[in-house]
Structure 1
């Protein structure tokens, strides 16, 4: 049963809901939010970068309201519900006495502000982490089919929100290893897997492209203590702003007396340790840690109720942090209170500039899924992200968006052009140039396949290259140039070399539709030291070399 909610908390929830609604309607979209809106234009069981929950929620909100408010409406609703369920997770007998402290504590958490209205995968992960913990709390009190079914559904919901949801499940399991012998727990796992089958089928049909990108293909940088490990520690602080010492002190002082508290502690330490280890390999983004906000809020509130001095410090520093965060929320809307450009400030400006010159003409953006999505959102016109070897694959690489701009007069926007017909400054101060193309034609879905998993390039290497043409048309080889991108061990391009290719059958002049053509190629030895991988690409009609092959390890 839901516990009675104090009036002060109801007022707080109502006020924050109104604040989030106003903020949603008056703040321009983040590039990522526009990208997820683009997801929502074609609902599916999966997308290149993330599971589909963010698309589903964005679609639902956009069906209710237009514009930015529609994109973010479900985020505002779920944030308010999240506060209700957080309150239900607290069983302390004094909790109603300190309702105001609870409100201050929640509002002082940095990312709870952001995910109170922004429509991002982490927004929905936060909500379902809270519900999962509430379901788990009931489950450990009473093992029933209904409780285990609910637990399984919420495990699936977390995984549909973001892949990090699996860490929540694992660390809660570590806190209660007896679950391994619990038939109701296994029933929960079965329910979660059954619910997750559609996404697994989507992954299988797309060659597990999402996992491949996140686990191996994502570019990295050399280890840097300041950017990686110190940056990770600063992110842990930034999650809670001025109250961070008090929050982590409460974690250290918390004594585990029952299974639910143990789950909260294990979940928090699990994330902290996991991403601390990860920080020695790559830069850890602050949002990857967002799931610990929920257990730490519960731990902190339970601790402050029993410790008056801690309670006073939380209240005072919390109010100061709230003032800072509210100031930053004003900055997100106007951009005028701080001289720092941000992507929520000037997108409408550059979008309007382009549309004024091109009308309804499609616009192709080089290496920017965010700009392509923002342009489509604010204009309703066709756009496309043309990804090349210097960038990465994304949703535009696997959907049908390329078809909408083929053989049409388009405006091509790029940072690689030395001159163009138009020039403008992007939301973050980047300089772009653009030129008109009368008959745009790209073939970014051509697949370059080298069967070998690794290649030795002591001098040069002769290999067989298979090129699969998935298009429903033959492609003249005269339109294509083949190139090799050499990458360092961090999978960043260091050198590009164009090469001559010869079909095994000399009479072949075209890539036949939905067919594979075999070529003999000679890959030259790279000039750059430290080269660890190569990747094949194709330049069509003079465009920048594409991202058409997989990374092949060099021996």
Structure 2
């Protein structure tokens, strides 16, 4: 490795690494980073939205540094390591003449640049994708149990980073179907599965909550060509900025000359085609396709070495991209020079404003897994996101955050001005309102269960069950029930109260760790032909929660 990394390469890498460290230290957290910091407060083999590697990164960084740098330190290391691994994937002696061009190419990619210091699940995904390609290249050259072990561990690292990693593994292995007859390839698969067993166990223990949410419970919108498919092509351009014509030209010009090149092509085209097809069903976020930057760096750099015109244009437009990116990076820290409001702006200020008025009082945010961890990170007090039927479930729905604010005086913050004891604007200009609650009590972990196929009949008695997972019984007088009617895209349109009667007589409470059956009748919704319904529970006058899954009418 030492012979492959020249002094110039290490110097250029060191400049970017130090720049990322400085950026990490000076830039306030973005909301997703705060959310993953919340993950890291309780290490686990899985979390509501993602596998656990991002939480491990935050935890390890926090052992070395405090504050924002602690959250991002491992990201800076993985970003630098990713560039080294990509460089080692290039087995062309000419590469030493174009080290500056390599860094211009990498630095010119805006999202790849951002993930050089932001701590998000895509950061380890990018590193392990590069490492996977490197190991796969060596595996093709030396099919041994040692490389089989390395390949298996790398695949496990990919899957522990983000579920989209399955596409990376599939398209690379699909490019070489002869691997189905290769004992070392099967060994790598078995090693990866063995490493992934703890996450499988976590999913099972948590009723596959992550899979159910991503596949079945996420709301969607009606198809829009402009918003979905055209927006997807805009994202493909935005990934590369001014260099995009030459990046895609390099892709189209690349010939399938060997198994490794074939893997790079299958991975790139596979991801592009997969999400193009997906764009007819949902809006594709730019970060979902960022993984194509890894194989494209290798393919484009080949063209840089081989073609003078491509080399000049990539260098010129890459420099222009890099200058713009540097300006925007400074704008992340100094709002006054930023052309747009960004989520790094103003968070410390609104947190400080609230804390100056309430001190160390816990804060409960209505429907905000973003604001709750941000406030906790900067104010160092317990917070909780109370999710209701108009929002979505998240990590606060399954962890122990609720227990830390029970029966305490708290400030309840929402976007609703009624009965507000204080109000404050955030940096985005939106007004938020706070109400003091002297003895906060919530039961958001109660589950409503529908066990039989249901048709929308307004006269017939229906049944559902409520499971109480708490260690204490819950007085039924504290609870009220409602029905949420949803569209085919799982948007809540109607919310109506229902009278739920226990099937057993003389039931006045929900027993701890037990289930109670109730009867009810569907109220007539204002909307026509609802597709889904969900039964929610309100406790102590709070807005009804997300206590059940979206159930489709027959």
TM-score (norm 2): 0.99
| Segments ≥4 residues shifted beyond 6 Å | none
Partner of 1:491: 490
**Structure 2 residue 93 is the aligned partner of structure 1 residue 93:** yes
For residue 267 of structure 2, give the secondary structure of its aligned residue in structure 1: helix
| Matches of 1:139 and 1:299, distance apart in 2 | 20
307 and 438 in structure 1: CA distance in 2 versus 1, 3 angstrom threshold: same
For residue 521 of structure 2, give the secondary structure of its aligned residue in structure 1: strand
Displacement after TM superposition at 1:21 (Å):
0.5
8 A contact 2:62–2:71 mirrored in 1: yes
Q: How does 1:190-339 map to 2 (within 5 A)?
A: 190-339=190-339
Displacement after TM superposition at 1:255 (Å):
0.7
Q: How does 1:59-458 map to 2 (within 5 A)?
A: 59-452=59-452, 454-458=453-457
| Matches of 1:239 and 1:377, distance apart in 2 | 31
CA RMSD of aligned residues (A): 1.1
Q: How does 1:448-527 map to 2 (within 5 A)?
A: 448-452=448-452, 454-527=453-526
| Matches of 1:18 and 1:502, distance apart in 2 | 64
Deviations 1:475-521 (A, max 9, x none): 11111110011110111100100111111123111111111111111
Deviations 1:385-425 (A, max 9, x none): 00011111111100111111011100000113434011112
Displacement after TM superposition at 1:339 (Å):
4.8
Deviations 1:232-283 (A, max 9, x none): 1111111111101110110000011111011001000000000000010001
Q: Which runs of 5+ in 2 are unaligned?
A: none
Deviations 1:512-535 (A, max 9, x none): 111111111111232202421000
Displacement after TM superposition at 1:180 (Å):
0.6
| Matches of 2:242 and 2:173, distance apart in 1 | 32
8 A contact 2:384–2:401 mirrored in 1: yes
| Matches of 1:334 and 1:461, distance apart in 2 | 62
| Matches of 1:197 and 1:276, distance apart in 2 | 32
| Matches of 1:461 and 1:114, distance apart in 2 | 56
Deviations 1:211-238 (A, max 9, x none): 1111111111111111111111111111
For residue 546 of structure 1, give the secondary structure of its aligned residue in structure 2: coil
| Matches of 1:530 and 1:60, distance apart in 2 | 51
Give aligned pairs, total: 554
531 and 65 in structure 1: CA distance in 2 versus 1, 3 angstrom threshold: same
For residue 531 of structure 1, give the secondary structure of its aligned residue in structure 2: coil
For residue 64 of structure 1, give the secondary structure of its aligned residue in structure 2: coil
8 A contact 1:479–1:540 mirrored in 2: yes
Displacement after TM superposition at 1:384 (Å):
0.3
Deviations 1:51-104 (A, max 9, x none): 000000100001110000000000011111111111101112211111111111
461 and 337 in structure 1: CA distance in 2 versus 1, 3 angstrom threshold: farther
Partner of 2:536: 537
| Matches of 1:429 and 1:263, distance apart in 2 | 47
